[in-house]
Structure 1
Amino acid sequence: MVKVREDHPIADDGNVDIRAWVQRLPGNESRGDETRDELHRACQASSAADLSATQVAHGWGASTSSFRIGLEMAEILADLQLDQDTLVAAILYRAVREEKLSLSEVQKSFGETVAKLIKGVLRMAAISYQRGEEDERVFGRQSDEQAENIRKMLVAMVDDVRVALIKLAERTCAIRAVKTATAARRRQVAREVADVYAPLAHRLGIGHIKWELEDLSFRYLEPIDYKRIASLLDERRLAREEYINTVLQQLRHELVVADIQGEVTGRAKHIYSIWRKMQRKGISFSQVYDIRAVRILVPTVRDCYTALGIVHSLWRNIPHEFDDYVASPKENGYRSLHTAVIGPENKVLEIQIRTFAMHEEAELGVCAHWRYKGTDREASENSYEQKIAWLRQVLEWHDELGGDSQHFKEDLRTVDQDRIYVFTPEGHVVDLPKTATPLDFAYRIHTDIGHRCRGAKVNNRIVPLNYHLNTADQVEILTGKREAPSRDWLSPALGYVNTARARAKVQHWFKLQARDQNIAEGQALLDREFKRLALLDLDFEALAKKLNMNSLDDLYAAVGASDIGVGQVLSAAQRLLDAANPKEPVIPFKAKSARTKKGSDVFIEGVGNLLTQIASCCNPVPGDAITGYITVGRGVSIHRQDCSNILQLQADEPERIIKVSWGETPQSSYSVDLIIEAYDRTGLLRDVTAMLDSEHINISALQTLSDKRKNTVDMLLTAEIRSINELSRILTRLNQLPNIASARRKH
């Protein structure tokens, strides 16, 4: 259990005695003078910010300062033996959140790591900001899926386990402080803590924080049940813990007598846990046998049964309350002996007995404590469970290393997430694949919203429909009165929809349209595509047969209904033309041969056929970052990028340095002339070349002709294209650029 806050030491001037507080902080004896000075400096900065800024209560109560909150958070984290950066971030966090101190000031004074930790906690605070008054709509009355999505979103946002721990400390302070707030405010904070942060502490294995969060939130959410169970216990927690300590001493003595090198621990069951067990099993208070629980850890399986015999010889066991999960493990691999007995003073005791190896397996293996005991459903996303496991592992490693902050920092690493979690305008959380767009979000909410989608806002800012969403974004879909999906949404090159659900919904809508309309739409779509690709002599009847269509109208109808994509039709056209003209490339391009050294894995970008040789001064091997130097008469010399010779040559003769890459012989490309007609504007040429560069398209020639009177510009550029589908994608993307009237292949 997190210890109850003690009053902060007060100096003669009536303010907190910072130096005395730092000396009293848990774990102080292991800290050096430099760490103490840093904590002292952080306290001074927080205190000064608190005094100089207007007090912003944020529901804590007008008498509670961000400085005092920071001290309390640091005390909680010091009990967990967190490092200096974490404690400093905790001290300063509320001052930054209440805008009494800026992140830039924190970074300048306390370093990038502290600023990054505070920024991470601020991102997690988006949960509270987004819900606002919609709290009851998101939590409690909805299904458990919403709360689970919230927890997943929080985990997805955390790249450093210390961020989650600071947030847990902050919410612990919050739930403690609301006892003087209004009933509505107490319920709001308690609901958030119960649904999000207590389960998060549970999954991270931080039991003492979990118990306090559960008990306090239960007290405000179910005050009648809380008081009833508290009265039934008929003793204060301190008395219960004293009872457990008496039992532990007796068991330890008996183990020593039996020559067993065991470890005995115990705790008094907290109020929320008792209530939850009564609700889950439909039993009365008198049937809850594990109000007082003891765990015995021993070296061997033989010792487990010996310890069980000792327990049953000391106290009478309760019938039907013995489970042997050692001989018959649970399906998840959990192993332990469970028994319930009538202990001293005729009070019921639950006792678990297992080996040290079994305990480690239960805590860290596939049957970790939070998984076998928790009521959460099995998550479908492996990456989420993987990240939870990572967070728990880092905590365990930190504990094993005795709080060594240097090793702790090295253990911090990010597990890639394949899901994102975004808010609806009402505060609900929706999970989507990592590459999801606003259109994917719209179809995830409802098919009708997707069909009527005309635009989107992300965090109150208009964004394109192919914008990639990020975790914690708030998404609002702008809709029209009638359903009118666009066929452009199905183009992979444009990236409007990236989920199978959204794509299937769009395709289904087009299938339902009248056949005549689909024929007309499909014909117009193919005519426009073939015209801009300059494929005017194509045998369309043969193309339809190539695609196993009975007639050209069937092909048009299939394209119009989105049963066949334009890309599939282009691929079939390319195969058809290749078969008709085996000696000529499709749409007769001029082939450019791949440039590579014979017998080498190096190919040269941007130059003609040049010999290459590996520099003997650094002898780069595949995988090294490399750079080329054009020699006199000996081709291109390939150096490692960190080679001292190439670094000197870059300074002396930069014009001879060229870009080179490791790789197989690149695919043959073809020179294609493209015509772009546009309305002139600043940055137009830059946008065109930047787009082509993003597609790794090499431009070998470029001409522009401007008409100042009409404010138009015509561009003729020669690009190296590898396939007809790539040409189609490039033309589609060019046509999407602002001010581009048309982009097509030159006839």
Structure 2
Amino acid sequence: MLRQYELIERVKAYDPDADEAMLNRAYVFTVQKHGSQKRASGDPYFSHPIEVAGLMTDLKLDQETIATALLHDTVEDTLATIQDIEDNFGPDVARLVDGVTKLSKIEQMPENERAAENLRKFLLAMSEDLRVLLVKLADRLHNMRTLHFIKNPEKRRRIARETMDIYAPLAERVGMYEYMREMQSLAFEQLEPEGYATLTKRLEQIREQDGGQVDAIALTIKHALADTGLQVEVSGREKQPFSIWRKMAERHVSFEQITDIFAFRVICESEADCYAALGVLHTVWQFIPGRFKDYISTPKNNGYRSIHTSLIYENSMRVEVQIRTRDMHRLNEFGLAAHWAYKQVDRPDGQVGWLRDLIEIVDASHDAEELLEHTRMAVYQDRIFAFTPKGALFQLPKGATPVDFAFAVHTDLGAQTVGAKINGRHVPLRTVLDNGDVVEIIKGPDAAPQLSWLGFVATGKARASIRRAVRLKERDEVAEIGRMLFDDISARLPAKIGKKALRDAVKRLEMEDEEELMFAIGAAKVSDREVMEALVPGSTADMPELPKQEQAISIRGLTPGMGFSLAECCHPLPGDRIVGVRKPGEGVQVHAIDCFELASGIDADWVDLSWGERSQGATSRLRVVLHNRPGTLAEMAGIFASSHANVTHLELTQRDDPFHTYELDLEVQDLAHLTRILSALRASDAVSQADRA
């Protein structure tokens, strides 16, 4: 564990102007607050935040980040509050500590909650200041280093899985490859202990048998480059067990069939030297087609820059070579942390775009599970490169389509997409893009995202935007029905309704605006009586209450006083032939005689029933297929209004252009009343099909 003076010396070594007094206070504060708390290893708990702070000094981060690392667990695990942090260390440190605390709370939630709704907090905290994420990644890395002290194997596996699924990909996404590789290795050891042990043993055997082969290859590469006047540093290493394991799984091969387990890094003086070195290597050794990637001219989203190539060395040995400058190497290993360390807070354009997309996804997602799906798609997929006709470069996940490309360029372009060209040729929108494709999007001013696009888009941004647009369109359609019903409600009032009365009604019903009121009416979220009373207070005082369904219906064949209910599977109406089903300890459930539920068999007593003379007023469920064109919903609503039938529920169940299918619950008097309504619907040009559901 770092001592107080050692930590301060580390910070002062790269930041002589750092506030030494503030850092000393933070060190003492965390030691005092955590007091006698212990970790699973038996070490004092305060050793953990101090080690996390040490990791931050390795990255040469600013004093606020170091203080945040020291204090990051005090609010969560001690009696300290955010206000205490602000009083002692200022608002910037308090804000950062609060952000890390929110991320820590994710881990204490149940699995589904932690993986969904709290991911929203994670992304928002990260977007406000990426230093929050840097501290959290260091916190998780140190916890992984001490994971073996936790006795419960299930808990170890849960933490390892969370690290592999969330933290390692996020470390890669912000370019912190050193953190990513160590997290993956430590998590792999817990999740696949047998695989980890086997691969580690095989690598040890290779190390013992190669007789310094890695060093020899590195020296050969260096001499080959030096002969052409290039001054370079060359180092070699074995690939990590997890990296080998993943390749074995992806390629469906055994360890013996993995030929490129050695990787070599060539550090050059300049970018021009990198390309010169590439030319020399491809001249001296044969390169493997399809294994060459130029991330210098087209960097990854996280700012990573390097040239990757694979060569066939002596005896058909395959080796991977990465070529980069010294500056690229520093930024590649520690990503955004290196940008902060060297005051380059103008983050790479790709990184800004990624964060912008994440926030847009947060805003567009409808619920927690949807958010989880979209953000995982945005964070964890391998990338390809595609170009606009003017040469602008966009990175997309493998499997992306022109629709994904359009939304990546701009949300409005995605929404207006009607067609696409790839490399000058018209293609279907579901066509999968290849690396280097030039994509031209054809747009139309009246176009709108289609629900069917969800079947092939690959990006979280596209999926979130499409779902949001479809929901808004559905809301507009329901609001259109609401306006028709509102006119009918207004006509029953004693006075003409003006704008002021409508504004007052919106306030009385505690709604945001007129649009929300119309949607509520169309979706049957508010009753006619409530709307009338909100428009003209007191107007319903002399109006008789609508009879309850049970009061409006009588059933013959029941024992006096016996309770009954109308089955929701078939929604029987006065006029239907009916039968009762009675289970022990329950009332009688009334079904239509041709109910599918009865046909499938019910283990209960059947009771012969018929409608009483007073019976009228019940709810029927309809399925109506409308032509998808302007005004069809309004025409359907007009038929209901003229037939004096009230819609209590409306749902769009299928969108299959050029038709939309709705299921709705309709209050009618009896079967004859419903038959007249169905006849009117079927006679309408707006309706393709109308039936009882």
TM-score, normalised to structure 1, is: 0.45
TM-score, normalised to structure 2, is: 0.48
